[in-house]
Structure 1
């Protein structure tokens, strides 16, 4: 599969590197040609512009800080109908969502672009995505996916499987608002040194 990546930071390196190792053809586009070329060389991908990455192949990954998204999407050009994977987190320094009331980040991106947006890969750090594979004591890492287009969800599910993960479709794109809020909550717990897993009993203990 051909995959474009918008961004040249840690998420782009972690996910792009894994997809290159899985045999995909990856093109990285960034605002800095030098930084983009260096990343592409490290992971074995091609380097290009933001617009080239946005239009490259079957899907594009939006791997940027959320506060950079508007400017980058303007530079990327027309994304209508494209499969756009959103791994952004709109979380401020106070670990609260910066999107405020109303739609979350993924739905705002979909409305602004007309792309077939799938929210995915936002709930853990680049260090986890860099693991080969991201498998732990309880098995492969689950990757929650939210989207409104069945074909786009199936494509992103394959990309999750190529990382060695277990894709988990959790609902339409409006559910991404809940995933984004949950991720902000988890980030807050991790930053405080607490383990979120202690909040969750085994399913069999829930009853009903």
Structure 2
């Protein structure tokens, strides 16, 4: 397990309203900054706004939010683990960042399967041994943070682990949201699953 200290750039946090719709069946996140939608014109009529129908100027996004493709090398910590329940299947998990913004704390992971799952892609659910229970641990204050759950239960603030998948050697991003720390801390531990060692003292990035 290695740690790569670096300065993290602020990362935009998706609104909780949109995230409350994250449940089984949603596609896996790939941190793509090229898929931003085109904003509406000022008047709702492109011709009145100086752009004729089909004019490229009317198709350009302006000020839209996006995300980046996951880079397995652009992480603050990473390790390769044996998939629980297997003898030799290995998967690499990297921690891109943990960003505290307002009342939430976002963990961004990059998964790279290094095993052939029957010729197909492996999901985060497969890689974690079919037991997705990622937690953040504040050892200093003896507190544990679990993924946020929507009112009524059964809907979590995270990327769908079943549909977030990658082929061997390829990488995919995975996001999980927690409540913001209750105490003034600068690092936190990350436990991906109970059968793997914990990533200790992962730095937090605080957004204003």
> Normalization by structure 2: what TM-score?
0.27
> Normalization by structure 1: what TM-score?
0.27
More helix by proportion, 1 or 2? Answer: 1
Higher relative contact order (CA 8 A, sep 6+): 2
More strand by proportion, 1 or 2? Answer: 2
